[in-house]
Amino acid sequence: MSPTKEDYLKVLFELGAWKIQVPNKEIAERLNISPPTVTEMMNSLVKTGWVEYTPYKGSMLSEAGAEYAKKLIRKHRLWEVFLVKNLDFNIDEVHNEAELLEHSTSDILADQLEKYLGYPEHCPHGGAIPLELMDTQEKVSIRLSDIKNDDIISVARILNEEKLVQHFKRANLNINDDIQITGRDKTIDLLYITNHTTGEEIELSRTIAQYLFVVDKSE
């Protein structure tokens, strides 16, 4: 499979397309490409059985597509750990480098890299690495933008894109922070958040909040 197609499968999984249909517009925004280009690629992935597409609703990974995406994501996250732990990269610098490395990493190399790193469970952005743990994390985590109540929740994962990571870094919003939505302004698409870990008040747009994944503290 080409690196481009692999990137589509990976993005689909990270956006939750193993359990929900993701609109082409959202995929286009994540990859910074035009919606027609996404539609063309989705048609190709549907024909090869990696993706299922429903008109006007979006795309969803097939079972085979989800399994392929998970293995690729595991490789990507292992390289992110290596770059931060062994080469002193900052977490907002590792995504593009890991993106290059993942496509040329065999399963054997990934297994040896995981062993060398001491079998890490999470990447620097909070993403689970072991496949079984990845399944669990994806099942219990939800986008911050989809939270409807004011319960205290915990930051589980940040979508590993450089500009997004930098944005959350500036907001001093970190993995495992306990946060709470204290207000919503639908007219300007804004969420008001209290970070109980740092004691700070944060404002986030719902557009940005959809790339922050959280878990319910009560579960």
Percent of the chain clearing pLDDT 70 (strictly above)? 99
- The total domain count for the chain is 3
CATH number where 185 lies: 2.30.30.90
Bridge partners, 61 (sequence order)? 51
- Within 13 Å of residue 154, how many CA atoms lie on the same side as its CB? 11
Q: Domain span at residue 186?
A: 142-216
Which pTM was predicted? Answer: 0.85
* Cα angle, residue 125 at apex, residues 123 and 129 outer, rounded to 5°: 30
State whether 110 and 127 are in the same domain: yes
Closest CA to 127 of 156, 93, 163: 156
Give tens-digit pLDDT for 35-48.
Answer: 899 989 999 999 99
Element (H, E) at 96: helix 94-102
State whether 132 and 159 are in the same domain: no
Give tens-digit pLDDT for 141-152.
Answer: 888 988 888 889
Q: Is the pLDDT of residue 29 over 90?
A: no
State whether 212 and 175 are in the same domain: yes
